[in-house]
Amino acid sequence: MKHDKILIVDFGSQVTQLIARRVREEGVYSEIVPYQKAAEAYAAMRPKGIILSGGPASVHEEGAPLPPTSLYEAGVPILGICYGEQAMAHQLGGLVEGGHHREFGRAEVQVTDECLLVDGIWQVGEKYPVWMSHGDRVTRPPEGFKVVGTSPNAPIAIIADETRHFYGTQFHLEVMHTPHGALLLRNFVRKVAGCEGDWTMRTFKEEAIEKLRAQVGDGKVICGLSGGVDSAVAAVLLHEAIGNQLTCVFVDHGLLRRGEAKRVIAMFRGHYNIPLVHVNAREQFLAALDGVTDPEDKRKIIGKAFIDIFEEEAKKLGGAEFLAQGTLYPDVIESVSATGGPSVTIKSHHNVGGLPERMNMKLVEPLRELFKDEVRALGRELGLPDVFVGRHPFPGPGLAIRCPGEITAEKLEILRYADEIYIEEIRRAGLYDDIWQAFAVLLPVKTVGVMGDGRTYDYVVALRAVTSTDGMTADFYPFDMKFLGHAATRIINEVKGVNRVVYDVTSKPPGTIEWE
Ligand SMILES: Nc1ncnc2c1ncn2[C@@H]1O[C@H](COP(=O)(O)OP(=O)(O)OP(=O)(O)O)[C@@H](O)[C@H]1O
Ligand SMILES: O=c1[nH]c(=O)c2[nH+]cn([C@@H]3O[C@H](COP(=O)(O)O)[C@@H](O)[C@H]3O)c2[nH]1
Ligand SMILES: NC(=O)CC[C@H](N)C(=O)O
Ligand SMILES: [Mg+2]
């Protein structure tokens, strides 16, 4: 079945991914491509509409990123947002000027004319809140366009060419701070581009199963199963597709939380009849990590050890041609970086980067088009119980990256205990599902305390809890102080070796969710 698609051309905006999410929420499949690949992607995808994202550049800069002009001749509707609007206006003969009217944050747009983009949502003559972030602005629309909305610092805030179906907004309609933005995007996707909105997790599932069968044939597949959401969903999807050609491999690397290995295996075996190999590799990992303190070194050592084990297990099965992974869309989007150069590596995720060159197995990645919340929806569609679907993410390198500095068996044991109490308290307070991810970190610092009139000199535990939708950005969770005080007291009283607890109030950016 062919679904309608929307192509999103990226010019490096911080919020390009939100455009894709909003479009998908309308039941329309969308993909993001860097502007350099727009023509190619258009030809391959045949989208029913194109959205040009915002971006940090100015159209007057030398070498400013511009969409290929062929897009304007393709006969499909185009929506330009912020820089995307400016680029379209500039290329089609309008005027864009920089100047002294920079506008960041909340603004008001007054609607001055009708058009399909605002149809049924905004009334002519009324004012509506929007979110702006720009220095340049369109000062003369190209021929064929009319001005539909105006704001104090962007007199031309919405433009429309209703013959060619080209629209542009100076404000960002993909962000929450433009309250009607999602509805305007729906108008573009449904009314202007005429998309059906039939891309649902049910159809995704059926098509993914077909594709998996075609890719794998009668080959054997190994799927690394972590107990996390992504690999559980990938495994169940694969099982529906290829049945007993699939074997799952759960690696206990000694960096799991307390009771996790048992829990994951019981949970999985209890619900599914999928062959599951449990590898105890605790000594192998801990030996490889002995004395290692650099976060990137830790990640690389762990990534390599995982592959070694998967390859070993494949051999034992008499050879498996495929390795299945729960790679998600944010891992594969190539965003245009603001500086024009390749973007820097913040962290090497253990399952991405470096993997393909070394692998003898081919990768099977059925979730690579999905965002995290979509994976959860797919999991529900596959009938996965809530204990899988609702779990907080847990990183593959596990407690190794929650134990800054050298990792020892003693430190891991302290961390496991503190983490267990913290999560238990979160569940007891009914907060688990409000929080996107929560965990404890054991700091490589000892501080002085007093307990039972005696002096202590023990470790510090940091607690972390964040809200997020996809882990790309996050905010710290605003616990009430009573909760924190209670959790801290329990940890200090019950965990030997800890005499101080702190709470991390850093958002992402500038922080990251994990500490390493
Ligand atoms: N202990 C493990 N044993 C086997 N495979 C693992 C293990 N930990 C991670 N993996 C593999 O690495 C992949 C990436 O891990 P990641 O943590 O991103 O996903 P997940 O664990 O499936 O889901 P979640 O993000 O919800 O934790 C997993 O999909 C899984 O294939
Ligand atoms: O499977 C994984 N392998 C990794 O190497 C890895 N590093 C971070 N994470 C998880 O990714 C999300 C974002 O984390 P950061 O803000 O720390 O980058 C958070 O949910 C992290 O737990 C990982 N998951
Ligand atoms: N957010 C944007 O797309 C900004 C566009 C352009 N860089 C400006 O400052 O006007
Ligand atoms: Mg995980």
Q: Which pLDDT belongs to residue 472? A: 75
Q: Which pLDDT belongs to residue 335? A: 63
Q: Which pLDDT belongs to residue 355? A: 54
335 and 449 within one domain: no
Residue 247 in any domain: the answer is yes
Q: Please, what's the b/e burial string for 437-475 (b: 16 or more CB within 10 A of its CB; e: otherwise)?
A: bbbbbbbeeeeeeeeeeeebebbbbbbbbbebebbbbbe
274 and 139 within one domain: no
Number of domains in the chain: 3
> 3-state class of 443 per DSSP?
strand
Which residues span the domain enclosing 435?
Answer: 409-503
Residue 513 in any domain: the answer is no
Ligand at shortest distance from the CA of 401: 2
284 and 141 within one domain: no
Ligand 3 site-directed mutation target among 86, 130, 335, most atoms within 8 Å of CB = 86
208 and 187 within one domain: no
442 and 472 within one domain: yes
User: Is the bond preceding residue 275 a cis peptide, omega within 30 degrees?
Assistant: no
Q: Which pLDDT belongs to residue 383? A: 93
430 and 326 within one domain: no
232 is in an annotated binding site: yes
CATH number at residue 323: 3.40.50.620
Could you say which DSSP state residue 67 is in?
-
CA gyration radius, the chain: 26
227 is in an annotated binding site: yes
Q: Which pLDDT belongs to residue 337? A: 63
Ligand at shortest distance from the CA of 325: 1
Give the span between the Cα atoms of 515 and 410, in whole angstroms: 19
Ligand at shortest distance from the CA of 87: 3
pTM metric for this prediction: 0.84
At 283, the amino acid letter reads E
What pLDDT, in 10s, does the model give residues 217-250?
999 999 999 988 999 999 999 999 999 999 999 9
361 and 305 within one domain: yes
484 and 335 within one domain: no
| Residue 245 tokens, joined | 């050609």
| Residue 511 tokens, joined | 């922080």
What count of other Cβ atoms lies within 10 Å of the Cβ of residue 122? 23
The verdict on whether 403 is a catalytic residue reads no
Q: Which pLDDT belongs to residue 345? A: 67
Residue 399 in any domain: the answer is no
143 and 271 within one domain: no
At 123, the amino acid letter reads Q
| Residue 67 tokens, joined | 């969409």
Q: What are phi and psi of 437, to 5 degrees?
A: -160, 135
183 and 277 within one domain: no
Cα 170 to ligand 3 centroid, rounded to whole Å: 9
497 is in an annotated binding site: no
Q: Which pLDDT belongs to residue 342? A: 47
Q: Which pLDDT belongs to residue 416? A: 98
In the structure, which protein residues have their CB atom closer than 6 angstroms to any atom of ligand 3?
13, 54-58, 82-83, 133-136
Cβ-proximal residues to 249 (8 Å cutoff; 6+ apart), any chain: 222, 223, 224, 225, 276, 277, 279, 309, 310, 313
The verdict on whether 82 is a catalytic residue reads yes
| Residue 499 tokens, joined | 């005499």
**C-beta of residue 5 within 8 angstroms of C-beta of residue 29:** yes
Atom number of ligand 3 nearest to Cα 54:
3
Cβ-proximal residues to 59 (8 Å cutoff; 6+ apart), any chain: 66, 83, 86, 87, 90, 96, 136
Residue 510 in any domain: the answer is no
Last residue of a domain, one of 191, 213, 241: 191
Give the span between the Cα atoms of 200 and 207, in whole angstroms: 11
Cα 349 to ligand 2 centroid, rounded to whole Å: 7
240 and 183 within one domain: no
Give the span between the Cα atoms of 95 and 92, in whole angstroms: 9
What count of other Cβ atoms lies within 10 Å of the Cβ of residue 360? 13
Q: Which pLDDT belongs to residue 470? A: 76
CATH number at residue 150: 3.40.50.880
Q: Per-residue pLDDT for the chain (516 aa), expressed as one digit of tens each?
A: 689 999 999 999 888 888 998 999 999 999 999 999 999 999 999 999 999 999 989 999 999 999 999 999 999 999 999 999 999 999 999 999 987 777 778 899 999 999 999 999 999 999 999 999 899 999 999 999 999 999 988 899 999 999 999 999 999 999 888 999 999 999 999 999 999 999 999 999 999 999 999 999 999 999 999 988 999 999 999 999 999 999 999 999 999 999 999 988 988 888 888 999 999 999 999 999 999 999 999 999 998 899 899 999 999 999 899 999 888 887 777 667 655 544 566 777 766 654 545 677 899 999 988 988 899 999 999 999 888 899 999 999 999 999 999 999 999 999 999 999 999 999 999 999 999 999 999 999 999 999 888 999 999 999 999 998 778 778 999 999 999 999 999 999 999 999 999 999 999 878 999 999
CATH number at residue 442: 3.30.300.10
**Per-residue H/E/C for 446-512:** EEEEEECCEEEEEEEEEEEEEECCCCCCEEECCCCHHHHHHHHHHHHHHCCCEEEEEECCCCECCCC
70 is in an annotated binding site: no
The interface predicted TM-score of the complex, written ipTM, equals 0.90
Give the span between the Cα atoms of 350 and 301, in whole angstroms: 9
Last residue of a domain, one of 323, 355, 390: 390
| Residue 384 tokens, joined | 């996965």
* Residue whose CA lies nearest to ligand 1 atom number 25: 393
What pLDDT, in 10s, does the model give residues 94-150?
999 987 777 778 899 999 999 999 999 999 999 999 999 899 999 999 999 999 999
- Could you give the dihedral angle defined by the CA atoms of residues 169, 171, 176 and 177, in that order, rounded to the nearest 10 degrees? -150
The verdict on whether 174 is a catalytic residue reads yes
Q: Which pLDDT belongs to residue 103? A: 76
